[in-house]
Amino acid sequence: MLFCKICAYLSNESEKENVGKERRISKKSSCREIQIRIEKFNKYLDGRAYYLISDINEIKMTGAVISESRELAEKYLPEFIKTADIRSDDIELCEVTFKELEDLLSVAEDNCFIDDGDDIMEKFNIRNIYRETRHMLFDVGENLIEDMSRRTIYGKIEKTLYARTLVPEIDRIFAGPENKRFRGHPCHYIMMTDDENDARKDTYRALLSALYANRRLYLRRYFFIDLDPTVKVSRSSFESVFFMSKGGCVVMRYRPTDESEEGGRASANREIVEMVGEIVKKYRNETLAIVCIPKNCTKTRLMFYEYMCSVNIVEFGEENARGETAERYLKNLCAENGVRGNKGLFARIEKGKGYSSCELKRIFDEWYNIKLKSEIFPQYKNISSDEIKNHMEDGICSADKQLAELIGLSEAKQVIKRSKDYFMAQRIFSDKGFLVDRPAMSMVFTGSPGTCKTTVARLVSEIFCDAGILSEGKLVECGRGDLVGRYVGWTAQQVQKKFREAKGSVLFIDEAYSLVDAHSGSFGDEAINTIVQEMENHRDDVLVIFAGYSDKMEAFLNKNPGLRSRIAFHVHFDDYTPDELCEISRLIASKKGLNISAEAMKKLRVIYEIISKQSDFGNGRAARNIIESAKMSMASRLLAGNIENLTSKEITTIIPEDIPEPVLPARTKRVVGF
C-alpha cells in the first residue's frame, strides 16, 4: 500500500486571495462542500485509491493519497486537483511513512475535510494493523529509500567491507532492463554482520536504492525491526509489518540468545526463526526480507535456511580486512572525518591479522582521539594523562574516597587499587600510541556475609567508570533466581538479558556457588556455561563480580574449565575484628545523629569478642542490628523517664543499658537415665 503526500502551490494572487477570503467567511461550510465533492470522486475510484485534502492556506493545499501503486496515484491526481477546485501548476507527490500519513489524516479531521481518519484506514484494512504496530513489544521503525545514482551505490559499498560479497548482487540487479511494473522478488537476503556502526545501514540502504532504481521495489517506505528472542513476539503484530510493506521491504536484525543449542530441544531462537521463516514465505512475492545475523552464528544461519527452504536467498557479509584492505578502510574513515592518516595509525594494523569494521573503527577512534588532543587542539595534549595521574595520586574520585573510608578490608582495598591502576596504565599506554590488549576484568569476591562485598562492588562500578574503564558505572545485582529459568531454553535467555542490562557496568552475581547443582546437565550448568560465553562476548564492556563463601566458591570455579581463566582478580574480604566492629558501630550511630558513651563502647567491645567467635555472626550486619536495637531500647528508656527535662545530650547518647545482651547458641543438655 502506497502513502503519498500531495502539495499543490496556488497559481496566482487572485486564487490565493479567494482561498483566504473563503476560509475567513465560512471555513466549516466551505470544507464540507469540498469534502462532498471529493467523496463523490473517491467513490468513482472504487477503492483503488483514496484522495483527501488535509489543509488549505493562502500559499498551498496539502493532501494525501492512499493507493495501490504510484502509477495509479499519479494518473488520477490532476482530476483530484480539479475536483478540489484548486488552480495550481506546481504539484508535488512524495511518498511518506505510515506515521506521516496518520498526521495528515489527523489534520484533515481537525479541518473538517474528513469525518474520521480511522474510517478511511479501515477501508484499506490498515486501521487495526496500524494500532498493532504502535503496541509491538519489539523495536520497529520506518524509513524511506533514498534516490542514488548507480555510481553512488557502488561507491558507498566499495567503502565498506561488504564489497566482495555484495557487488556481484548489485551487478545482477543492474544487469537486466528496468522493470516496467512490479513482478515479485527473485530472491531475499541474509546479511552476516557484527557491525554496530553506520556501515551496516549504509550497505543495506545502498542495496535498497539499487532495487528501487530497477523497479524491484515500488515502495520507498521500508520497516526496520530489532528482534530480541527474550521478548515474546506476537505473530499477528509481526505479520502486520509484512502486510503493510507489500511492494516494499522489511529489514530485520536478529541476535540469537544461544548458539550452543542441542538438536531437538525447544528454544526461543528456533521459535522466532520458524515464525520469521513462515511469514517470509507467505509474503515472498510481495514483501522483500533482509535478515541481519551476527556472522559467527552459524547455527542460527542454518535455521533460517531451514525455515525459508523454498525461498531463494542471496547471502552477503562483511569480510575480515587484512593488510592493504584494512589500511584502505582506515583511509576512508580519515576522509570521512577530514583528516589525513599517518604512520601511527597504520602501525596499529598487525601483519596477517584480520579485522572487522568494528575493530577498525575502534582503532581509528583511539588514534583520532590522540590526534584531536595533540595536533588539532594542542592545548589539550596532556589533559588525559594529567587527569589520570590526579585520580591515582590525589584520590579526587568520591568513590575512591568512600572505599578508603570503609573500615577494615585492607586486603580488598589493596587488590582493587592494583586492578584499577593496571587498567588505567593500559589506557595511558594506549593514549601514548602503544597497541595494548585489554585483559579480562572479572573478579571474585570471597568472604563471610556482612563484610561489605555488595557495597564494595557498587564502589568498584563507580571507580572504574570515573577512570574511563567502564562507560555506565551501574551495579546490576542478581542471584540464581534471576539467571536460572524454569523451562528448557529460558536460562540462556535470562543470563544474556542480564549481561545486556549490565553493559558498561558491573554485573554482581551474589552467592554464585548456588548455580552449582548436584547433577550435571542441569539448568545451573547451562547458566554457568552461558555466563562463560557472555563474559567473552562482553569482555570489553561488562565487569562480572562473583561473590560468595570462600570454600563454596572454589567448587563453583572448578565447575567450568574456562571460568577461572576469565577471572583477573581474586578479592578476599576478611571478617571484621572486634575493634573494627566497634568503629563500624560508632560510624553507624553517627550517621543516625547518635553518640555511644565510653561505657557503652566497652560493653560493645565485650559483645563483639563473644559473637565474633561464632560461625556466621554477620559481621557488619550484626553491628547494624545491635545499633538499631539499642536505638529502640533508648527510646523506651527515655519515654519511661521525665521527658520534659531531657537534654539534647541524653536524647542522642547510647548508654550500656540500651545495648542488648548477645544471644548465645543454646547448649545441648545431656539427659541421664533415658
Residue burial 531-561, b: 16+ Cβ < 10 Å; e: rest: bbbbbeebeeebbbbbbbbeeebeebbebbe
Architecture, CATH, for domain 2-124? 2-Layer Sandwich (3.30)
pTM for this structure?
A: 0.56
CB atoms within 10 A of CB 420: 21
Which of 3.40.50.2000, 3.30.499.10, 3.30.505.10, 3.40.50.300 would CATH assign to domain 139-317?
A: 3.40.50.300
DSSP 374: I
Pick from 203-207, 332-336, 634-638, 659-663 the range whose average pLDDT is largest: 203-207
Closest CA to 165 of 211, 207, 226, 213: 207
H-type helices in 89-158, by residue range? 98-110, 117-123, 127-134, 150-158
The Cα 426–Cα 439 span in angstroms is: 10
The per-residue pLDDT for range 71-93, each reduced to its tens digit, is 889 999 999 998 888 888 889 99
Name 251's bridge partners.
Answer: 224, 290
pLDDT greater than 50 at residue 522: yes
Mean pLDDT to the nearest integer, 622-631: 89
pLDDT greater than 80 at residue 384: no
Q: What is residue 383's predicted lDDT score, i.e. its pLDDT?
A: 61
pLDDT greater than 80 at residue 670: no
The per-residue pLDDT for range 20-50, each reduced to its tens digit, is 544 443 445 567 788 888 999 989 888 889 9
Helix (H) or strand (E) holding 315: strand 313-317
Closest CA to 208 of 265, 266, 248: 248
Lowest model confidence (mean pLDDT) among 381-390, 423-432, 500-509: 381-390
Closest CA to 541 of 492, 599, 494, 501: 501
Closest CA to 112 of 21, 28, 40, 23: 28
Q: What is residue 521's predicted lDDT score, i.e. its pLDDT?
A: 62
Mean pLDDT to the nearest integer, 172-201: 83
Enter the C-alpha cell of residue 79: 482530476
CB atoms within 10 A of CB 149: 10
Mean pLDDT to the nearest integer, 369-393: 66
Phi, psi values for residue 45, rounded to 5° = -75, -15
Q: Classify 578-658 by CATH class.
A: mainly alpha
Mean pLDDT to the nearest integer, 224-235: 78
Closest CA to 268 of 104, 489, 541, 589: 489
Phi, psi values for residue 311, rounded to 5° = -105, 135
Closest CA to 546 of 624, 467, 623, 440: 440
Q: CA 508, 510, 511: angle at the middle one, nearest 5?
A: 150
CB atoms within 10 A of CB 290: 20
Confidence of residue 207 (pLDDT cuts 50, 70, 90): very high
The Cα 150–Cα 152 span in angstroms is: 5
Query: Which residues fall within 8 angstroms of residue 485, CB to CB, at 6 or more apart?
Result: 491, 493, 494, 523
387-573, what's its fold? Answer: Rossmann fold (3.40.50)
Q: What is the dihedral of CA 650, 653, 658, 664, to 10 degrees?
A: -170
Q: How distant, in Å, are the alpha carbons of 45, 74, 648 from that of 636?
A: 87, 87, 16
The Cα 203–Cα 319 span in angstroms is: 13
3-state secondary structure of 572: strand
CB 63 within 8 A of CB 53: yes
Query: Which amino acid is located at 630 in the chain?
Result: A
| Rg of the chain in Å (alpha carbons) | 34
Helix (H) or strand (E) holding 213: helix 198-213
The per-residue pLDDT for range 169-181, each reduced to its tens digit, is 999 999 977 767 7
Closest CA to 256 of 525, 581, 540, 489: 489
Query: Which residues fall within 8 angstroms of residue 271, CB to CB, at 6 or more apart?
Result: none
Query: Which amino acid is located at 318 in the chain?
Result: E
